[in-house]
Amino acid sequence: MAFVTRQFMRCVSSSSTASATAKKIIVKHVTVIGGGLMGAGIAQVAAAAGHTVVLVDQTDDILAKSKKGIEESLRKVSKKKFAENPQAGDEFVEKTLSSISTSTDAAAVVHSTDLVVEAIVENLKMKNELFKRLDKFAAEHTIFASNTSSLQITSIANATTRQDRFAGLHFFNPVPLMKLVEVIKTPMTSQKTFESLVDFSKALGKHPVSCKDTPGFIVNRLLVPYLMEAIRLHERGDASKEDIDIAMKLGAGYPMGPFELLDYVGLDTTKFIMDGWHELDAKDPLFQPSPSLNKLVAEKKFGKKTGEGFYKYK
């Protein structure tokens, strides 16, 4: 109890005369659950910004791979950032890496963390099981956040007893390069939790934006229907996928055409999001499934990561 009180005192901001419960949590210690593509990136940027990070995954092998990936990414960052001073760059890499420890037991490490960021597989049951367990072990003040792209934050938060200290924190891939973070507030998220996460995002050098707990939040709610419209345009035979890609690059100034982007994101991911939205509202014309997308996914052609999607790679 004394530890929890000390921890809480350390974490609340010291200014203002407002009551302690209204004060923001200053996040210093972060636990990132899931050391895949997103989790490794989140751990990297949090550590590079001076936080103490514990990265959790299922096996030591996965964690060793994650740490190796983080080191390679940090070396790239430091080459640019410290072009004039390679020694300072090496020190930055070493210092950042030394701020990241790893564990295969989330429950054993969350007792002293200010923030848990979950980036495990996109599966509601698994996320619920994880958070329900962590809720029993985490300190009272600890904020829980999910990096989910397509699940409702409220339905994840409901597995816990801390819905007021639960929000969405949606990073973008690749995390070290992409500046945006969507901070998702459910009807139960407290203002203090929301503001603490906005401050945390800014401390990472990101630009936070706020959105309610609605399907796709901001970016995916606009991006996914656009990508699906491109597929439908092609399915109707109105234009070739090559011409659609060129048109959006040269006519709209987009860095990638929709089919290139679909292959980059992963066709399985886009189908998963569409299936979820279709389940939510089967009548919405924007949420209708696409035969050609479904066919490619059934053939395990997921895009760049499998070597074939709308285009072939190599």
- Minimum distance of ligand NAD from residue 41's CB (angstroms): 8
Taking a C-beta distance cutoff of 8 angstroms, is the pair 236, 208 a contact? no
Helix (H, G, I), strand (E, B) or coil at 307: coil
| Cβ proximity to ligand NAD, 34 vs 258, nearer residue | 34
Q: Is 173 annotated as ligand-binding?
A: yes
Site string for ligand NAD, 28-67 (x = CB under 6 A): -----xxxxxxx----------------xxx---x-----
Return the H-helix or E-strand segment holding 212: strand 207-212
Q: Catalytic: 149? A: yes
- Number of chain residues interacting with ligand NAD (CB under 6 A): 22
Q: Does residue 173 touch ligand NAD according to CB under 6 A?
A: yes
Q: Catalytic: 170? A: yes
| Residue 175 DSSP one-character state | T
Q: Is 36 annotated as ligand-binding?
A: yes
Residues 137-166 that bind ligand NAD (CB under 6 A): 147-149
The binder of ligand NAD chosen from 30, 77, 116, 119 (CB under 6 A): 119
Q: Which of 29, 51, 118, 182 is catalytic?
A: 182
Q: Does residue 121 touch ligand NAD according to CB under 6 A?
A: yes
| Residue 210 DSSP one-character state | E
C-alpha to C-alpha distance for 246 and 240, rounded to whole angstroms:
10
Q: Is 216 annotated as ligand-binding?
A: no
- Minimum distance of ligand NAD from residue 212's CB (angstroms): 18
C-alpha to C-alpha distance for 116 and 259, rounded to whole angstroms:
35
Please enumerate, by residue number, every residue annotated as part of a binding site for CoA.
73, 80, 149
In the complex, which residues of this chain contact ligand NAD (CB under 6 A)? Answer: 33-39, 56-58, 62, 119-122, 126, 130, 147-149, 171, 173
Please enumerate, by residue number, every residue annotated as part of a binding site for NAD(+).
34-39, 57, 122, 127, 149, 173, 305
